[in-house]
Amino acid sequence: MHDTPNPAAPKRPAEPQAPRPLILGSTSRYRRELLQRLRLPFEVYAPDVDETPLPGERPADLAQRLALAKAQAVARQHPEAIVIGSDQVADLEGDSIGKPGDHERAVAQLRRMSGKTVVFQTAVAVVCAASGFARQDLAAVRVQFRELSDAEIENYLRTEQPYDCAGSAKSEGLGISLLAAIDSDDPTALIGLPLIRTSQLLRLAGLDALATPTGASA
Protein backbone atom coordinates (compact mmCIF):
# COMPACT_ATOMS: atom_id res chain seq x y z
CA MET A 1 0.00 0.00 0.00
CA HIS A 2 1.34 3.40 -0.95
CA ASP A 3 0.75 6.62 0.94
CA THR A 4 -1.34 9.15 -0.95
CA PRO A 5 0.24 12.58 -1.03
CA ASN A 6 -1.73 15.14 0.94
CA PRO A 7 -2.24 18.20 -1.30
CA ALA A 8 -2.99 20.29 1.80
CA ALA A 9 0.39 19.54 3.39
CA PRO A 10 2.56 22.66 3.68
CA LYS A 11 5.37 22.91 1.19
CA ARG A 12 8.93 23.14 2.42
CA PRO A 13 10.31 26.64 1.91
CA ALA A 14 12.80 26.90 -0.90
CA GLU A 15 16.42 27.12 0.14
CA PRO A 16 17.70 30.67 -0.30
CA GLN A 17 20.08 30.93 -3.21
CA ALA A 18 23.60 32.00 -2.44
CA PRO A 19 24.53 35.28 -4.12
CA ARG A 20 26.75 35.05 -7.14
CA PRO A 21 30.44 35.72 -6.50
CA LEU A 22 31.60 39.27 -7.21
CA ILE A 23 34.76 40.07 -9.16
CA LEU A 24 36.46 43.38 -9.78
CA GLY A 25 38.02 43.23 -13.23
CA SER A 26 40.80 45.68 -12.50
CA THR A 27 44.29 45.81 -11.03
CA SER A 28 43.79 49.40 -9.82
CA ARG A 29 44.39 49.70 -6.09
CA TYR A 30 42.19 52.81 -6.07
CA ARG A 31 39.18 50.88 -7.42
CA ARG A 32 39.81 48.03 -5.01
CA GLU A 33 39.87 50.40 -2.05
CA LEU A 34 36.67 52.09 -3.24
CA LEU A 35 34.78 48.84 -3.79
CA GLN A 36 35.69 47.72 -0.27
CA ARG A 37 33.42 50.50 1.01
CA LEU A 38 30.37 48.46 -0.07
CA ARG A 39 31.44 45.65 2.31
CA LEU A 40 30.74 42.95 -0.25
CA PRO A 41 33.21 40.06 -0.54
CA PHE A 42 34.96 40.16 -3.91
CA GLU A 43 37.94 38.88 -5.80
CA VAL A 44 40.20 40.77 -8.17
CA TYR A 45 41.30 39.61 -11.63
CA ALA A 46 43.26 41.50 -14.24
CA PRO A 47 41.43 41.94 -17.57
CA ASP A 48 43.43 41.26 -20.72
CA VAL A 49 42.27 44.21 -22.82
CA ASP A 50 44.02 46.38 -25.38
CA GLU A 51 43.40 49.96 -24.21
CA THR A 52 44.52 51.66 -27.43
CA PRO A 53 41.96 54.30 -28.50
CA LEU A 54 40.25 53.80 -31.85
CA PRO A 55 40.85 56.44 -34.53
CA GLY A 56 38.68 59.49 -33.77
CA GLU A 57 37.18 57.89 -30.65
CA ARG A 58 35.76 60.40 -28.18
CA PRO A 59 36.97 60.20 -24.55
CA ALA A 60 33.53 59.23 -23.20
CA ASP A 61 33.14 56.51 -25.83
CA LEU A 62 36.63 55.20 -25.09
CA ALA A 63 35.94 54.97 -21.36
CA GLN A 64 32.64 53.14 -21.90
CA ARG A 65 34.07 50.74 -24.47
CA LEU A 66 37.00 49.80 -22.26
CA ALA A 67 34.89 49.41 -19.09
CA LEU A 68 32.59 46.96 -20.88
CA ALA A 69 35.48 45.15 -22.56
CA LYS A 70 37.24 44.66 -19.22
CA ALA A 71 34.10 43.26 -17.56
CA GLN A 72 33.40 40.96 -20.50
CA ALA A 73 36.98 39.69 -20.65
CA VAL A 74 36.89 38.58 -17.02
CA ALA A 75 33.29 37.31 -17.27
CA ARG A 76 34.32 34.93 -20.04
CA GLN A 77 36.74 33.29 -17.61
CA HIS A 78 34.26 33.36 -14.68
CA PRO A 79 30.78 33.02 -16.23
CA GLU A 80 28.90 32.48 -12.95
CA ALA A 81 30.28 35.64 -11.35
CA ILE A 82 29.08 39.22 -11.43
CA VAL A 83 31.99 41.21 -12.84
CA ILE A 84 32.70 44.93 -12.54
CA GLY A 85 34.78 46.69 -15.17
CA SER A 86 35.71 50.36 -15.10
CA ASP A 87 37.78 52.88 -17.00
CA GLN A 88 38.57 56.56 -16.71
CA VAL A 89 39.65 58.99 -19.42
CA ALA A 90 40.32 62.68 -18.87
CA ASP A 91 38.70 64.80 -21.56
CA LEU A 92 40.53 68.03 -22.32
CA GLU A 93 38.72 69.91 -25.07
CA GLY A 94 37.89 66.63 -26.81
CA ASP A 95 41.36 65.09 -26.43
CA SER A 96 41.80 61.91 -24.37
CA ILE A 97 44.28 62.30 -21.51
CA GLY A 98 45.32 59.00 -19.96
CA LYS A 99 47.84 57.93 -17.33
CA PRO A 100 51.14 59.76 -17.81
CA GLY A 101 53.38 56.87 -16.77
CA ASP A 102 56.38 59.09 -16.03
CA HIS A 103 57.38 62.51 -14.73
CA GLU A 104 57.92 64.24 -18.06
CA ARG A 105 54.49 63.30 -19.41
CA ALA A 106 52.86 64.32 -16.13
CA VAL A 107 54.46 67.76 -16.34
CA ALA A 108 53.19 68.16 -19.91
CA GLN A 109 49.66 67.09 -18.89
CA LEU A 110 49.41 69.51 -15.97
CA ARG A 111 50.77 72.37 -18.07
CA ARG A 112 48.04 71.71 -20.65
CA MET A 113 45.32 71.51 -17.99
CA SER A 114 46.43 74.60 -16.07
CA GLY A 115 43.55 77.08 -15.88
CA LYS A 116 41.20 74.84 -17.84
CA THR A 117 38.16 72.67 -17.21
CA VAL A 118 38.78 68.95 -17.67
CA VAL A 119 35.95 66.40 -17.76
CA PHE A 120 36.93 63.09 -16.20
CA GLN A 121 34.82 60.44 -17.93
CA THR A 122 34.53 57.48 -15.57
CA ALA A 123 32.64 54.48 -16.92
CA VAL A 124 31.49 51.37 -15.06
CA ALA A 125 30.10 48.14 -16.50
CA VAL A 126 28.58 45.13 -14.72
CA VAL A 127 28.39 41.81 -16.56
CA CYS A 128 27.28 38.27 -15.70
CA ALA A 129 27.76 35.81 -18.56
CA ALA A 130 25.57 33.09 -17.01
CA SER A 131 22.52 35.32 -16.56
CA GLY A 132 23.11 37.41 -19.68
CA PHE A 133 23.20 40.62 -17.65
CA ALA A 134 25.28 43.43 -19.14
CA ARG A 135 24.75 47.08 -18.24
CA GLN A 136 26.97 50.13 -18.04
CA ASP A 137 26.86 53.76 -16.99
CA LEU A 138 29.02 56.85 -17.19
CA ALA A 139 29.85 59.54 -14.63
CA ALA A 140 31.21 62.81 -16.01
CA VAL A 141 33.10 64.89 -13.45
CA ARG A 142 33.92 68.49 -14.36
CA VAL A 143 37.17 69.63 -12.77
CA GLN A 144 38.42 73.21 -12.92
CA PHE A 145 42.21 73.47 -12.58
CA ARG A 146 43.82 76.60 -11.14
CA GLU A 147 46.46 78.51 -13.05
CA LEU A 148 49.54 76.49 -12.12
CA SER A 149 53.14 77.64 -12.11
CA ASP A 150 55.92 75.32 -13.20
CA ALA A 151 57.23 75.32 -9.62
CA GLU A 152 53.82 74.21 -8.26
CA ILE A 153 53.58 71.44 -10.85
CA GLU A 154 57.11 70.24 -10.08
CA ASN A 155 56.62 70.31 -6.31
CA TYR A 156 53.31 68.47 -6.57
CA LEU A 157 54.61 65.72 -8.85
CA ARG A 158 57.74 65.15 -6.80
CA THR A 159 55.64 64.89 -3.65
CA GLU A 160 52.77 62.66 -4.81
CA GLN A 161 54.09 60.99 -8.00
CA PRO A 162 50.61 60.40 -9.49
CA TYR A 163 51.97 58.74 -12.62
CA ASP A 164 49.31 55.99 -12.55
CA CYS A 165 46.40 58.46 -12.53
CA ALA A 166 44.61 59.83 -15.59
CA GLY A 167 45.35 63.54 -15.70
CA SER A 168 48.29 63.34 -13.27
CA ALA A 169 46.34 64.47 -10.20
CA LYS A 170 44.99 62.70 -7.11
CA SER A 171 42.03 64.68 -5.85
CA GLU A 172 41.90 62.50 -2.72
CA GLY A 173 45.42 63.64 -1.81
CA LEU A 174 47.58 66.71 -2.31
CA GLY A 175 46.20 67.04 -5.85
CA ILE A 176 43.14 68.79 -4.41
CA SER A 177 45.39 71.88 -4.06
CA LEU A 178 45.69 72.03 -7.87
CA LEU A 179 41.95 72.54 -8.30
CA ALA A 180 39.52 75.43 -8.19
CA ALA A 181 36.27 73.41 -8.33
CA ILE A 182 34.79 69.92 -8.78
CA ASP A 183 31.28 69.29 -10.09
CA SER A 184 29.98 65.71 -9.79
CA ASP A 185 26.82 63.79 -8.86
CA ASP A 186 28.85 60.65 -7.96
CA PRO A 187 31.67 61.78 -5.66
CA THR A 188 33.99 58.77 -5.92
CA ALA A 189 33.97 58.82 -9.72
CA LEU A 190 36.96 61.14 -9.82
CA ILE A 191 39.03 58.63 -7.83
CA GLY A 192 38.23 55.88 -10.33
CA LEU A 193 34.94 54.10 -9.55
CA PRO A 194 31.51 55.80 -9.33
CA LEU A 195 30.06 53.95 -6.35
CA ILE A 196 26.52 55.32 -6.67
CA ARG A 197 26.26 54.01 -10.22
CA THR A 198 28.12 50.82 -9.33
CA SER A 199 25.68 50.09 -6.51
CA GLN A 200 22.72 50.68 -8.82
CA LEU A 201 24.08 48.30 -11.45
CA LEU A 202 24.89 45.64 -8.84
CA ARG A 203 21.32 45.78 -7.51
CA LEU A 204 19.99 45.30 -11.05
CA ALA A 205 22.32 42.31 -11.41
CA GLY A 206 20.93 40.82 -8.17
CA LEU A 207 23.56 41.86 -5.65
CA ASP A 208 22.53 44.34 -2.96
CA ALA A 209 25.16 45.64 -0.55
CA LEU A 210 22.48 46.24 2.11
CA ALA A 211 20.88 42.80 1.85
CA THR A 212 23.62 41.23 3.97
CA PRO A 213 24.30 43.35 7.05
CA THR A 214 27.33 41.28 8.02
CA GLY A 215 28.96 41.60 4.62
CA ALA A 216 32.68 42.22 4.67
CA SER A 217 35.09 43.21 1.96
CA ALA A 218 37.71 40.86 0.61
Q: What is the dihedral of CA 188, 194, 199, 205, to 10 degrees?
A: -160
Q: Is 87 a catalytic residue?
A: yes
Q: Are 138 and 64 in contact (CB under 8 A)?
A: yes
Q: Are 104 and 111 in contact (CB under 8 A)?
A: no
CA 202, CA 195: separation in Å to the nearest integer? Answer: 10
Please tell me which residue in 3, 87, 137, 186 is annotated as part of the active site: 87
C-alpha distances in Å from residue 28, one per residue of 11, 46, 85, 154, 210:
48, 9, 11, 25, 25
46: left (phi over 0), alpha (psi -120 to 50) or beta: beta
The rounded Cα 161 to chain-centroid distance in angstroms is 21
Q: What count of other Cβ atoms lies within 10 Å of the Cβ of residue 210?
A: 10
Pick from 79, 86, 90, 75: which is nearest to 35 by CA? 86
Pairing label, strands 22-24, 43-44 = parallel
- Residues with a known catalytic role: 87
